[in-house]
């Protein structure tokens, strides 16, 4: 049984369609990455799957009692608000001191319980957000560009952690990301979104290319990933393809 399934789902804000005719299912244990240009509807898709916005057409089905862990793109906290990591992790549900200590250690930031949230670095903050999501014991972990603001080594380390956690906990992972050069190695399926699902499939990173070395900090240059992108079909205004999917290389900017 799928954890979440969207069927012919559309979302519109006023008269402007943000998403049209989306069919997407997330299966237990898989890692799915959603990519697309700015304004393509990535965050709208996440909000709809979370139940924050209602579809204007089609439907969304969630497994009954589905436990979701969510890591937002960013979370603004008042710098003057006295809030320790421990207290933050107990919102909205309290957890034992032992649970909190173990989870902070698991996500790579041990001993931060009494640190003020406002005093955390960007990388520490994102790992605390991840810890909070994982304390929910999720069946699916949803991350909306959760590595924004991190440097390249921080991004790579964060995704290695996500992959390890998926293996340990068995939870599915749905990620929105621009970090193609790192994410592709850990992803089971890539969904290309641009107001509709252009294509989806298993990714391939070509590791012998010079661009690849730049991606992993082995040199300088633009961060490009070469991956298989089934997208040489025509789309009408709602994004319906001509039914033919043929793979061709496509450059994706990180």
* E strand spans, the chain: 4-13, 16-26, 31-35, 57-62, 68-71, 140-144, 172-176, 189-193, 197-201, 224-230, 247-253
Mean pLDDT value of segment 136-150: 89
Whole-number pLDDT of residue 27: 95
At residue 199, the 3 state secondary structure works out as strand
Q: Residue 95 — pLDDT band, cuts 50, 70, 90?
A: very high
Whole-number pLDDT of residue 210: 40
**Range name among 146-150, 188-192, 196-200, 234-238 with the lowest pLDDT average:** 234-238
At residue 47, the 3 state secondary structure works out as helix
162 in Cβ contact with 186 (< 8 Å): yes
Among residues 73, 76, 68, 150, which one has the least CA distance to residue 108?
Answer: 150
Pairwise CA distance, residues 91 & 244, whole Å: 48
Pairwise CA distance, residues 244 & 160, whole Å: 35
| High-pLDDT (> 70) share of the chain, % | 76
**Range name among 45-59, 60-74, 140-154 with the lowest pLDDT average:** 140-154
Residue 139 buriedness (CB in 10 A; 0-12 / 13-18 / 19+): buried
44 in Cβ contact with 37 (< 8 Å): no
Q: Is the pLDDT of residue 214 over 60?
A: no
Q: Residue 7 — pLDDT band, cuts 50, 70, 90?
A: very high
Candidate CATH numbers 3.40.50.300, 3.40.50.1970, 3.40.50.2000, 3.40.50.2300; the one for domain 1-67+138-223: 3.40.50.300
Residue 87 buriedness (CB in 10 A; 0-12 / 13-18 / 19+): middle
Report if pTM > 0.85.
no
Q: From residue 152, how far is each of 102, 119, 158, 214, 251 by CA, in Å?
A: 26, 22, 10, 11, 19
């Amino acid at each position: 049984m799928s954890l979440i399934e969207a069927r012919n789902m559309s979302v519109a804000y006023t008269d402007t369609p943000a998403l049209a005719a989306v069919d997407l299912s997330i299966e237990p244990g898989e890692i799915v990455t959603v990519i697309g240009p700015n304004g393509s509807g990535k965050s709208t898709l996440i909000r709809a799957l979370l139940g924050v916005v209602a579809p204007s057409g089609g439907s969304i089905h969630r497994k009954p009692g589905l436990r979701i862990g969510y890591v937002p793109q960013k979370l603004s906290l008042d710098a003057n608000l006295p809030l320790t990591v421990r207290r933050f992790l107990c919102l909205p549900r309290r957890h034992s001191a032992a649970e909190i200590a173990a989870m902070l250690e698991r996500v790579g930031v041990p001993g931060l319980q009494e640190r003020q949230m406002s005093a955390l670095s960007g990388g520490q903050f994102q790992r605390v957000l991840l810890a909070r999501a994982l304390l929910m014991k999720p069946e699916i972990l949803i991350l909306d560009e959760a590595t924004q603001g991190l440097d390249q080594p921080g991004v790579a380390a964060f995704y290695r952690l996500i992959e390890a956690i998926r293996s340990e906990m068995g939870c599915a992972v749905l990620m929105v990301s621009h970090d193609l050069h790192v994410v592709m190695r850990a992803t089971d399926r890539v969904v290309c979104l641009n107001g509709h699902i252009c294509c989806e499939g298993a990714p391939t990173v070509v590791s012998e290319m010079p661009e690849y070395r730049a991606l992993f900090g082995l040199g300088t240059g633009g961060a490009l990933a070469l991956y298989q992108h089934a997208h040489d079909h025509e789309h009408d205004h709602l994004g319906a393809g001509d039914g033919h999917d043929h793979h061709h290389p496509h450059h994706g900017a990180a």
